[in-house]
Structure 1
Amino acid sequence: MALNVSKGNMYGFVSHTWNTVKGSCYHDCSYCYVKRWGNLNPVRFDEKELRTKLGNGNFIFVGSSNDMFASDISREWIQRTIDHCNSFDNQYLFQTKNPGRLSKFELPQNSVICTTIESNRFYPEIMNNSPEPSLRAEAMLRIDLPKYVTIEPILEFDMEELVELIKSCNPIQVNIGADSGNHKLPEPSREKVLLLIDKLNKFTSVKQKRNLKRIVNKIPD
């Protein structure tokens, strides 16, 4: 198997993606881009991916098409994926909405972890089976690794509550993006997003994803 070159609206700092766990994601977020592919097969472990040469000097997003740390994923699948990563000299990004489970594994030395916090508010009809944002932040606090937080797709939020939630994660970087799939999500105004970016920049580095332009480049009424 060959490594997948990162493209589209993926993180600009990621060079490749690699997925051993495939199929439907337990969290079932309504906006998930993977659903566009009709990827509704039962979750499975793709043994062939363990033959993939991950190379050296890459920055690989492991598990970009599923949440490898969701509660329904076999511990054995996760460990085998980590073991394969350890056979190569790369930097790895592990992102999950269930960081409480991620903390139970020893990740490769050169790893960065990330969680998604779309809002401080919990939207059950959008986030479905995902842990509430406050629980994700609480779990991130307990992990002693370099951390990112991704606010994507950004949903309507309460300013001070969201800023404090993000700050509690102690992230070295926050990535902000908008809905790319026309899911008619509750979104904040341009002015509110710009103010949020200003407040976050006071304690971390903020990276705006390309799809955020749809919101922040709007001409105010």
Structure 2
Amino acid sequence: MSLKFVEAVLMRGYMYRDCVLQWNVFVGCRFDCIYCVKSFKLQMKRLKRVCSRCYNYEPHFHPERLNRSLPRTSGDEFIWACSSGDITFAKPEWMHKILEVIRRYPDRTFLLQTKNPIVFKYYEPYPANVVLDTTIETNRDDLYWGISKAPLPSERFKDFLTVEHPRKFVTIEPVLEFDLEELVRWIRRISPERVYLG
């Protein structure tokens, strides 16, 4: 991970600029992160009349979105599957349907993200066109109490190491207080293709 790469990500503004589509077949989360609840409610406000479960951020499935047209990706581009939720709360049968569609498009790259990377183990092996991402906002577990019901950052780090898939990203968002040397050590051990800072 080079300094130039980190600078390029920081200067872009929108963190996931290479995302060509947010494909939300599954929506919702129960981690109740204090920094997510308000922002996602604001984003979902326009959907309040269309889908109250989306507005309330309740975990649910939109099977009608499985067959939508998916754009081609090239270079660093990807389709972010389930961007408005955490797949921890997706039923296995929903995830299998999503992965079935992903397997039909080997010429497109898909991103799956969670704050509970042990769930990635449930669906191994992944096709080569999938990138797995976890969020690690800090290396300090003591700072995380009261912020979220997600697993502690140290647990996420250890669990992500056990996932046997070569394509990984790490997202640091929001950036909480951290110990630079320790967090860099974690990231190096994970060996992600990219690190996003938000």
How high is the TM-score relative to the length of structure 2?
A: 0.76
Aligned to 2:83: 64
Matched residues in 1 for 2:15 and 2:82: separation? 13
Pick the aligned partner of 1:157 from 167, 175, 178: 178
Kept in 1, the 8 Å contact 2:15–2:197? The answer is no
Q: Percent identity?
A: 38
Matched residues in 2 for 1:168 and 1:134: separation? 13
AA aligned to 1:28 is: D
Matched residues in 1 for 2:85 and 2:98: separation? 13
Quote how far apart the aligned CAs of 1:135 are: 1.2
AA aligned to 1:27 is: F
Aligned to 1:206: none
Pick the aligned partner of 1:110 from 113, 129, 139: 129
Matched residues in 2 for 1:168 and 1:84: separation? 31
Kept in 2, the 8 Å contact 1:111–1:145? The answer is no
AA aligned to 1:109 is: A
Per the alignment, in what secondary structure is the counterpart of residue 129 of structure 1? Answer: coil
Aligned to 1:95: 113
Q: Matched residue pairs, number?
A: 166
Aligned to 1:137: 157
Deviant stretches of 4+, over 6 Å: none
Aligned to 2:192: 171
Matched residues in 1 for 2:90 and 2:98: separation? 12
Aligned to 2:35: 31
Determine whether 1:18 maps to 2:38: no
AA aligned to 1:100 is: I
Determine whether 1:82 maps to 2:99: yes
Quote how far apart the aligned CAs of 1:103 are: 2.1
AA aligned to 1:95 is: Q
Q: RCO greater where, 1 or 2, for CA within 8 Å and sep 6 or more?
A: 2
Kept in 1, the 8 Å contact 2:131–2:167? The answer is yes
What CA deviation, in whole Å up to 9, does each residue of 1:1-36 have, x standing for no partner?
Answer: xxxxxxx8351122111011123x111111113132
Pick the aligned partner of 2:65 from 49, 54, 57: 49
Quote how far apart the aligned CAs of 1:156 are: 0.9
Gaps of 5+ in 2: 1-12, 46-54
Matched residues in 1 for 2:57 and 2:109: separation? 30
AA aligned to 1:176 is: L
AA aligned to 1:114 is: D
Quote how far apart the aligned CAs of 1:40 are: 1.3
AA aligned to 1:78 is: M
Matched residues in 2 for 1:107 and 1:18: separation? 18
AA aligned to 1:175 is: Y
Kept in 2, the 8 Å contact 1:112–1:146? The answer is yes
Per the alignment, in what secondary structure is the counterpart of residue 104 of structure 1? Answer: helix
Matched residues in 1 for 2:83 and 2:15: separation? 9
